Amino acid sequence: MFAAPAKGTAAAATGENNAENRLLTEDDFEIGGALRFNYAAQRSDGDQRDRGGDASLDLFRLNIEGEQQGIEFSAEYRWYTNQDVLHHGWAGFGAGEHGQVRVGVSQVPFGILPYAAHNYWFGIPFYVGLGDAYKLGAQYIRENGPWDLRLAFYKNPVENDPGNLERYGFDLVNHAGCADNDDNAASDNGSGDNDNGSGESQDCTRESNQANLRLAYTLDEGGSCPVELGLSGQWGMVPNSETGEDGSRWAGAAHLDMRCGRWGVQLQAGRQVIDVDLDSTDGDGEEDTVTFGGMDGKYQVASKANLGVLNIAYNFPVPWENIDSLTCYNDFSIYHKDESDYSNSKINTTGCAIGRGPLFIYADVIRGKNAPFLGDSGAETLGEGGAGWDTYYNLNLGYYF
């Protein structure tokens, strides 16, 4: 997390700088956060089912936002039970009447923003690095009436160590034995099998030099039925430290985000292709799966696939005094893989979000097939596949301040 400048800094000896102007006051920033707890029960986990599920601390987070001398800033740090990470942290500078440049760790502009889901668990875009992703670089945002244009260049993920699995969101990672891993050469943080560059050649890949373009237009902006239509593109390098060659990664998507009265509909269709340049033993220099990691875990993802999202939500009128909001939804996403022998990955979540003042509850029934952390969470969940459907019951209670 980006801390506020230390108070009590002295002015320069020449007296040209006023120390008072270099300090943040209570009017300059706001501090907030959240404390969340989670209860979960998974149908395929017999031991967990016998004890009636498990409850645990989900996270504690702190946010700081403000503006000083025309520079806007925002940062958030999160503590989970298995990791603590910077979620985002950027400084924003005005760029013309309708534009802003953000430098630091910002949300990658791709697809439906801010989230291509209504539920706590999110959907497949999140788990293949195409939803609610954050990286280190610079972003230009221009909002002018119904138009929303976002351009970004990211040098690399927040953790510039492809062997580190402690990160928010999911990026391409590799095994701990790679020479370019900063801190994890002695520890794998998981199975060494099925990693990027797994096998005899021990190839080591990472994300670098990513560019994003997102253009959206809102029909009936300010009306009772606004509909955002948008196109997104993403391009990036995938360097291989073992071979000295560069692979590539690209993705594209079209989306619709409608909020019509009490109804909400999200549609997104896209494609992702990751060409990893390997010293491959199969002779074609390509891999059918690559390794993604994050939230202190990792799994295989098919390197070429189409992505689909269909989410529907309804915000109910609330007659009860002690409930401020009640939104129920069904979110569905699919990762349709090019390899005909691979089984497609799917997540369908049915649930409700309930708000009462600073309290917010997600109550979800999650059905997943070949999906990370659902059922068979082995190395081939989003890769080759083969696991059947599993059901996950999740209840998340959060206090936001």
List pLDDT tens digits, range 73-87: 999 999 999 999 999
Residue pLDDT, tens place only, 237-276: 998 877 778 889 999 999 999 999 999 999 999 999 999 8
CA torsion sign, 173 to 107 to 115 to 236? negative
**What pLDDT is recorded for position 47?**
83
Each residue's pLDDT tens digit, 21-31:
444 455 578 99
Mean pLDDT, range 162-168, rounded to an integer: 92
Query: What was the pLDDT predicted at 383?
Result: 86
Q: How far apart are CA 123 and CA 158, in angstroms?
A: 22
Determine which of 47-51, 61-65, 71-75 has the lowest per-residue pLDDT on average.
47-51
- Global pTM reads 0.86
User: CATH number of the domain at 42-400, please?
Assistant: 2.40.160
pLDDT of 283: 42
pLDDT at res. 27: 57
- Place 123 in a pLDDT band, splitting at 50, 70 and 90: very high
Do residues 357 and 147 lie in contact, with contact meaning Cβ atoms separated by under 8 Å?
Answer: no
What are the distances in angstroms from CA 390 to CA 337, 344, 359? 20, 14, 29
The most confident of 154-163, 244-253, 358-367, by mean pLDDT: 358-367
pLDDT value of position 329: 98
3-class SS string, 28-49: CEEEEEEEEEEEEEECCCHHHH
CA 281 centroid distance within chain: 33
User: Which helix (H) or strand (E) element contains residue 126?
Assistant: helix 124-127
What is the Cα–Cα distance from 367 to 348, expressed in whole angstroms? 5
Is the predicted pLDDT of residue 187 greater than 80, yes or no? no
Burial of 175 (0-12, 13-18, 19+ CB in 10 A): buried
End-to-end CA distance of the chain: 17
Q: For the chain, which residues make up each domain, given as ranges?
A: 42-400
Distance CA 333, CA 340 (A): 19
d(Cα 176, Cα 198) in Å, to the nearest integer? 11
Q: What pLDDT is attached to residue 227?
A: 98
239, containing H or E segment: strand 227-239
Q: What is the DSSP letter of 194?
A: T
Q: Whose structure tokens read 């108070």?
A: 7
Mean pLDDT on 351-357: 97
Tokens of 8: 């009590």
Confidence of residue 180 (pLDDT cuts 50, 70, 90): low
**Between the CA of residue 147 and those of 107, 111, 152, 176, 195, what are the distances in Å?**
19, 15, 17, 44, 41
Tell me the average pLDDT across 356-363: 97
Only one residue has tokens 């109910």, namely 316
Strands in 158-207 per DSSP E: 171-172
Residue 376: pLDDT band (50, 70, 90) is low
